[in-house]
Structure 1
Amino acid sequence: MKDFAGSIVAIVTPMREDGSLDFESLGNLIDWHIESGTAAICVAGTTGEASTLSFDEHREISEFTVNRVAKRCPVMVGAGSNSTHEAVELTLMAKQIGADATLQVTPYYVRPSQDGLYKHFVTVSEAVDLPMMLYNVPTRTGIDLSVETTLRLAQVPGIFGLKDATGNLERAGALLGLRPEGFKVFSGDDATSVPLMLLGGDGTVSVSANVVPVAAARVSVLAKGGNAKAAAALHLKLLPLHAALFVESSPAPTKWALTTLGRASPFCRSPIVELSETARGTVLRGMERAEAFETAVSVDLESNETPIGLALG
């Protein structure tokens, strides 16, 4: 299995005003991320608006990503569904196109029991031989994957980790202390990503990395390397951006931020609409310090110096 660790970008799905997929922009984003040190790419996840894509679009965007990456970094394809049958079909598709792993969100809306969740993920894992990362985001799905059920699933061959988007560090700490050897825990919440990694987490599946890939990659290296002071300093500079990218329905703020950088259009699939004028000011303020620090980190990496001096300047 390809190793997943560090900064994994939950990449947006660029779209045109008519709602069609913008493959040219996606290709440019992929190249930018790889050049910027992003460790892996997660396509067709929540930030990629997977729930609004048709099956054919899901396959097209995933296959394009695998081909464009061309083994330069691992690729994880969002393949979750609230239907076990559909999750199997999406996972089979991911395997056929050459993905390295899938991201499997808890079945949303139907609110299954913990036993139902366990059966769902085991069924998908047994049906398709492809590494799987679980994804717990109860604020979106309406269902929580408990620590106990996660630990049961950690024993299942093929299930290698969890994206924890709860933002609950007490819960994450409990899981990190009890997980079996080899089971990875990733933050799915940028605001608590560094604390989770300093507790022993393996990385982050990041929204903010869409906008500041160099800084996101660097803070993961610092945190995973145990450099708490430097990681915390960088993390604090990025917190306003982390918050701003959720000022309205995601990924509208992220897409608008990328528009200001000249890297993608602001368009999302309905019912998500473009960012409001008021929210744009919030995003701009969040980007101001983050962009300056992104540039500073890039300069430091080129000169092989520590970024922390610039971080505190």
Structure 2
Amino acid sequence: MTGDKKAFVALVTCFNEDETINYAATRAQVRRQIEAGNQIMCAGTNGDFSALTFDEKVRLCAEVVDEVAGRAEVIVNAGMPATHETRLLAREFDRIGVDGIAVITPFFIECTQEGLIRHFTCVADSVDTPVYLYDIPARTQNHIEPETARTLAAHGNIAGIKDSGGAQDTLEAYIAIGRETDGFDVYSGPDHLVHWAVTNGARGCISGLGNVLPDVLARIISCVNAGDESGAAEAQSIYTHFRTELYKLGYPPALVKRALFLRDPSVGLSRQPALLPDAAQDKAIEAILTKFGV
């Protein structure tokens, strides 16, 4: 299908020098993404969700939704290790009003596939907002097997999955489930697979790198929607090469934040114990930004 692909940016959460959230700066990042033509995901991996308190996530969601004011879609991540807290967060986001609630697989707690089914089902049963599964096994050590995704896709309030695993065969399996199941959309997480994913059946992408290159991400999607495959491939090539050079320097979310910081210090540093400023690394990041004309 053309004309209906979407790009969500996993929005950074901006911090003040004392590590409190800078809501005004975060709102500015929301406006920047809307102007580029992207949708918003907040409290995701690139939004430092694991470093935020319950109350901060609730306020962050409310501030983002208020700033968006219906101009873009908003998905917010509610996933926590325990089903209980995940459900409580999801209910708060449901009350605020968002377009989707993403639920990252539990982390630290090792889960069986049956345990994952119980976890996601419980959350989806608790809210009216559509729920999206969120698979990122490298970070959580729990993986949603395709057969588990197929079982969960039958739930009336589970609307899709974000695949951040990076394995193309798993993404293909999820996309096959989406083809078989009405109302189950697949969003690709890996930045190098945006073009491939949306031309092979994914509904869209949720990208962290879009914080640094919002216009390039938007161009991949707009070109696909316009049927301009060469334009999409060219934009994807830029996106992929930038990703390769930046991410080989270390932990991707922290590097995205740092690259953005070097161009806009209002975003602040990452909460500790994430990346600290490093002169040599900053010089390497600066060289990449300059090379790509950012």
Q: Is the pair's TM-score, using the shorter chain for normalization, greater than 0.5? A: yes
* Aligned position for 1:10: 10
Is the 8 Å Cα contact of residues 5 and 198 (structure 2) preserved in structure 1?
Answer: no
User: Which residue does 1:258 correspond to in 2?
Assistant: 260
Could you tell me the percent identity over the aligned residues?
30
Over 3 Å counting, the alpha-carbon distance change for 1:59 and 1:244 in structure 2 is: farther
| Aligned partners of 2:163 and 2:186 also within 8 Å | yes
What amino acid sits opposite 2:27 in the alignment? Answer: G
1: CA distance between counterparts of 2:135 and 2:226?
26
Answer whether contact 2:14 2:22 (CA < 8 A) is retained.
yes
For 1:146, the aligned partner's letter is: E
TM-score by length of 2: 0.92
Secondary structure in 1 matching 2:15? coil
> Are the structure 2 counterparts of residues 88 and 287 from structure 1 closer, same or farther at C-alpha, using a change threshold of 3 Å?
same
Instruction: Return the alpha-carbon distance in structure 1 between the equivalents of residues 146 and 227 of structure 2.
Output: 25
Quick check: 202-211 or 189-198, which moved more? Answer: 189-198
What runs of 5+ residues in structure 2 fail to find an aligned partner?
Answer: none
Name the structure 2 match of 1:270: 272
Higher relative contact order (CA 8 A, sep 6+): 2
Verify: 1:282 aligned to 2:281, yes or no: no
Counterparts of 1:98-177 in structure 2, within 5 Å, are: 98-177=97-176
CA–CA distance in 1 between the matches of 2:185 and 2:140? 22
Aligned to 2:61: 62
Distance of 1:132 and 1:286 partners within structure 2: 37
Secondary structure, aligned partner of 1:264:
helix
Do 1:245 and 1:251's aligned partners in 2 also have CA atoms closer than 8 Å? Answer: no
Q: Provide the residue aligned with 1:309 in structure 2.
A: none
Structure-1 separation of matches of 2:17 and 2:255: 16
1:20-47 CA deviation, whole Å, 9 max, x = no partner?
1111111111111111111x11111111
Aligned partner of 1:83 in structure 2 is 82
Q: Note the C-alpha offset of 1:134.
A: 0.8
Q: Distance in 2 between matches of 1:60 and 1:245?
A: 31
The aligned runs of 1:174-213 (5 Å cut-off) are 174-179=173-178, 180-213=181-214
Do structure 1's residue 33 and structure 2's residue 33 form an aligned pair?
yes
Instruction: Give a deviation string over 1:165-223, Cα, whole Å, max 9, x none.
Output: 11111221222223313311111110222211221111110111111111111102223
2: CA distance, partners of 1:190 / 1:207: 8
Cα deviation for residue 226 of structure 1 reads 4.7
Equivalents in 1 of 2:293, 2:204: separation in Å? 22
- Code of the residue aligned with 1:189 in structure 2: it is P
CA contact (8 A) 2:13 2:47 kept: yes
2:47 counterpart SS class = coil
Shift of residue 263, structure 1, vs aligned partner: 5.7
**CA offset digits 1:30-81 (Å, max 9, x no partner):** 111111111x111111111111111111111111101111111111111011
Partner Cα distance (1:275, 1:243) in 2:
21
Superposition deviation, residue 243 in structure 1: 2.8
Contact kept in structure 2, 1:105 and 1:135, CA below 8 Å: yes
Moved more, 71-80 or 83-92: 71-80
Q: Which segments of 5 or more consecutive residues in structure 1 lack a partner in the other structure?
A: 293-313
Shift, 1:144, TM fit = 0.9
The answer to which of 247-256 and 102-111 deviates more is 247-256
**What is the identity, as a one-letter code, of the residue corresponding to 2:35?**
E
- Work out the CA distance in 2 between the residues paired with 1:76 and 1:57: 16
Deviation at 1:228, TM superposition (A): 3.0
8 Å CA contact 1:84, 1:123 repeated in 2: yes
Deviation at 1:245, TM superposition (A): 4.3
Q: 1:74 to 1:42 in 2, by over 3 A?
A: same
Shift of 1:289: 4.5
Q: Work out whether residues 15 and 267 of structure 2, in 8 Å CA contact, stay in contact via their aligned partners in 1.
A: yes
Q: Residues 187 and 285 of structure 1: is their aligned pair in 2 closer, same or farther, counting only changes over 3 Å?
A: farther
- SS of the equivalent of 1:252 reads helix
Distance 1:178 1:30, change over 3 A: closer
**Change in 2 beyond 3 A, CA 1:154/1:252:** same
Aligned-residue offset at 1:225: 4.8
Shift of 1:278: 3.1
Secondary structure of residue in 1 paired with 2:266: coil
Structure 1 contact 82–108 (Cα < 8 Å) conserved: yes
Contact 2:160 2:184 in 1 (8 A): yes
Identify the residue that residue 243 of structure 1 maps to in structure 2. Answer: 244
Partners of 2:254 and 2:274 within 8 A in 1: yes
> Aligned partners of 2:227 and 2:175: how far apart in 1?
16
1:291 is paired with a residue whose SS is coil
The worse-fitting range, judged by mean Cα deviation, of 271-280 and 212-221 is 271-280
Number of equivalences: 288
